Amino acid sequence: MTQVMEPSAGHSAGSPFADGGPADPGRPIPCRVLLLEDSGMDADLVCEHLKMIDDHAFDIHRVETRQAFIDAIADGGPYDLILSDFDLPDFDGMSALAIARDRLPRVPFIFVSGMLGEENAIEALKKGATDYVVKLRMERLQVVVRRALVEARDRNELADKRAALAESEARLRFALEAGRLGSWELTLATNRLRVSSICAANLGIADPADIATYDRLLERVHPDDRETQQAMVRQAVTSGLPLDMEYRTIWPDGSVHWVQVRGRAVYDKDGTPTGLAGVSLNITDRKRAEERQLLLLEELNHRVKNTLAMVQSIAKQTLRAAPSVEAFPDAFQSRLRALAQAHDLLTRRHWQGASLSEIAALTLEPHVDAGRVRVGGPPVNLTTGVAVSLHLAFHELATNAAKYGALSAESGRIDLDWEITPPAGSPARDGVASHAGSGHSSRTAAGALVLRWRESGGPPVVPPTRRGFGSRLIERGLAHELEGDVALAFDPAGVRCRLVIPLSSRVNPQ
């Protein structure tokens, strides 16, 4: 038989401690009770005594059998108190206690029995019962129930706070790990240092126990930064201001890394500093990025200056070589476009240089497609400065060929090829006079890159009466820039140019 006794009027059933806060003193505390009792008379007696607890309103759900008890426990209630007889026709109190402790471990469980016995009572308490009341002394039920409910409330509040604290700590750990932040705590009195695994990893150390003191930490600080680090720690302790510093650390493998440390001093109730606590972050990648950015800015500044100087030189030389003021704009703009083409190519390559074949194709590709230019040679890498200089030289040669040379006639053609020669190179060939750049010989210890430009099939070439901008750029400027030998000849059959450039980090085979 199952019997439900309704709570007092105006009260809704439910857990009185669901929100963890204090009850309204003007209203009774709702309390739902699961009562396991096969005797109706004893059940009524329990209910009467519960009613005498005037600051609670009890909603009592009574069950009599094992299955009914199991079903009630499985439903989850929610129950705030379990009262149970010890001897039942198909059930016993110890089994009921085991089921309750397994399913509802935080709900107080009180035995209310006619003859419990001292041994059974002790055994029940050992197995998790909250208390017991002998039916011959039912007046104790009020005291026992009230105490059990208060203790349960306190335990539940403490458990909730611990769970909330554990959850908060878990969220903090997740946030620290997601941000790659290490945590640390320094005790000033003992100089002891407690660090997390991430904080130790920021110093290149696998085991946090290896830096258990501040002195051990200082051993890992770069010698040039050690004094500053100590001074900032002392300042944070004495001033109470936040600690925020960056310094270099030396890892066990000898590599240098950067770490950022932030924290605050901890004080006791008398205002005496007791320690420091905070977080650390490995900022090596950021520092290297800042260094790269600084280098890029310096490189950009250098390139801008070089480009402006080159534009100024092109303008000056073009104006000097122009037959008339009217001819200057076209020649100057053509050379500026060539310079811009080279810069566009290098920008696409992130200013990491270019290949010789790319530079040759940049100027000659339209003529290559028309079948009038043959370009070939082994793969060669060029740095940015060499790439720009060669492109401007090819531009001057191609422009001259288009105006006066092989590309001005339908039958004309150009052969541009190159090869890598051993250190013992032969002297200039093809009857081309050699112009050595900066006093350097074509014979180098590392070998050389030899380029040949040969025109054929065009109008007969007449040697110029004076050297124009293109000739001076190739013979003097290119030789100086590339530290090699340049030979330019105006052969009647076609213009020929031979460049011998020493192999180096600026010019090297792939």
Q: Rounded mean pLDDT of 43-51?
A: 89
Helix extents (H) in 179-243: 197-201, 214-220, 223-239
Binned at pLDDT 50, 70 and 90, residue 16 comes out as very low
Residue range 136-187, pLDDT digits in tens? 788 888 888 888 888 888 888 877 777 776 666 666 566 556 556 888 899 9
> Which token pair is 505?
């980090």
Report the share of the chain in percent with pLDDT over 90: 24
Q: How far is CA 207 from CA 199, 237, 250, in A?
A: 10, 27, 16
Binned at pLDDT 50, 70 and 90, residue 436 comes out as very low
Least confident of 247-261, 281-295, 324-338, 355-369: 324-338
Q: Which domains does the chain have, with CATH numbers?
A: 3-159 (3.40.50.2300), 179-282 (3.30.450.20), 288-509 (3.30.565.10)
- Per the CB < 8 A criterion, the answer to whether 82 and 109 are in contact is yes
Q: Which of 129-143, 332-346, 360-374 has the highest mean pLDDT?
A: 129-143
> Which token pair is 425?
């190179």
> Which token pair is 94?
């110890």
Which of 244, 274, 248 minimizes the C-alpha distance to 259?
248
Binned at pLDDT 50, 70 and 90, residue 189 comes out as very high
Q: How far is CA 29 from CA 9, 12, 16, 17, 57, in A?
A: 13, 10, 6, 9, 6
- What's the pTM? 0.46
Least confident of 40-44, 233-237, 383-387, 456-460: 383-387
CB atoms within 10 A of CB 437: 22
Q: Is the pLDDT of residue 195 over 80?
A: yes
Binned at pLDDT 50, 70 and 90, residue 331 comes out as low
Helix extents (H) in 322-457: 328-348, 356-369, 384-403
Tell me 221's DSSP state: B
Binned at pLDDT 50, 70 and 90, residue 456 comes out as very high
Pairing of strands 413-421, 507-509: unpaired
CA 267-271-275 angle, to 5 degrees, is 25
Residue range 235-292, pLDDT digits in tens? 999 998 999 999 999 999 999 999 999 999 999 988 899 999 988 988 998 988 888 8
- Please state whether 206 falls in left (phi above 0), alpha (psi between -120 and 50) or beta: alpha
Binned at pLDDT 50, 70 and 90, residue 450 comes out as very high
Q: How far apart are CA 361 and CA 9, in angstroms?
A: 97
Pairing of strands 192-195, 354-355: unpaired
Q: Rounded mean pLDDT of 414-418?
A: 92
Q: Is the pLDDT of residue 432 over 90?
A: no
pLDDT of residue 191: 92
